[in-house]
Amino acid sequence: MERICANCGSKSNDGNQFCTKCGTPYPTPEDEQRKIADKYLVRQPQVRNTSAHVRRFAQKSVSFLQLLSGFISIIIFCLIGYFVYVVLIAIQPTPIVNQSSTPIMISASQLISEYANNEVAADQKYQNYKLEISGVVQSISKNLFNDPYIVIAPNTQTFNGIQCSFNQDQEVELATLNAGQSITVEGIGNGYVLNSVMVNNCSIVKNNSASQ
């Protein structure tokens, strides 16, 4: 078998393990096989162990979700409490301070304007007093306790309104109303909640089907 010295390039056929000219050892068959294997062997890429990073990320994600969940729960609890408070204020019995049989006649526009300008002063004039309010039906609905109410305002485009609560036995009359029609309502002033004037124990004095 002919061998070629890797150092000096001389050839030899005598089977020596070393080059006769420079003394460099010839590669063994095992060395040749190893060289071929190293040349053509497909090496697998080293995969980085990311389990620790995944665990840390998962722990941070869980902590963030727990914090977010607690924050949302607090907000929901506060909203529910405030909603219940508003509903209880709207349905509570309202004593009449003004014992006169003649109610205070006022337009929806004026009543809303006075409360928006000075709630304290408006309460002194209208809370627990009998009122006769003229305006336009903005909406007809029911509260949490299934009691009907309507919202009246100067017009249907006004954001603020007057929430007028009725007894359930008045639903038949309220069912004939339509948004946009003129109406006059009598009831007892009950303060100002969420930018809405509250009026309880209401009854319809005048109902016009024509829209303004």
pLDDT band for 210, please (50, 70, 90 cuts): very low
Looking at the predicted structure, is the pLDDT value of residue 123 above 70?
Answer: yes
Statement: the pTM of the whole predicted model exceeds 0.75: no
> Is residue 98 left, alpha or beta, with left meaning phi > 0 and alpha meaning psi from -120 to 50?
beta
Helix (H) or strand (E) holding 69, with range, is: helix 51-91
Where do the domains of the chain lie? 104-211
Largest CA distance in the chain: 138
4 Cβ contact partners less than 8 Å away, ≥ 6 residues apart: 10, 11
pLDDT band for 201, please (50, 70, 90 cuts): very high
pLDDT band for 211, please (50, 70, 90 cuts): very low
Looking at the predicted structure, is the pLDDT value of residue 40 above 80?
Answer: no
The mean pLDDT of 183-189, rounded to a whole number, is: 95
Place of tokens 């929901």: 76
Opening angle at CA 80, ends 75 and 82, nearest 5: 95
Compute the Cα dihedral for 71, 73, 74, 75 and give only its sign.
Answer: positive
> Is residue 110 left, alpha or beta, with left meaning phi > 0 and alpha meaning psi from -120 to 50?
alpha
For residue range 75-118, what is the model confidence (pLDDT) as tens digits?
888 888 767 666 665 555 555 555 566 899 999 999 999 999 99
Kindly indicate whether the domain formed by 104-211 is annotated with CATH number 3.30.70.1380.
Answer: no
Q: Distance between CA 105 and CA 116 in Å, rounded? A: 18
The pLDDT > 70 percentage for the chain reads 71
16 Cβ contact partners less than 8 Å away, ≥ 6 residues apart: 26
Give the pLDDT confidence score for residue 61 in this predicted structure: 80
**Beta carbons of 109 and 152 less than 8 angstroms apart:** no
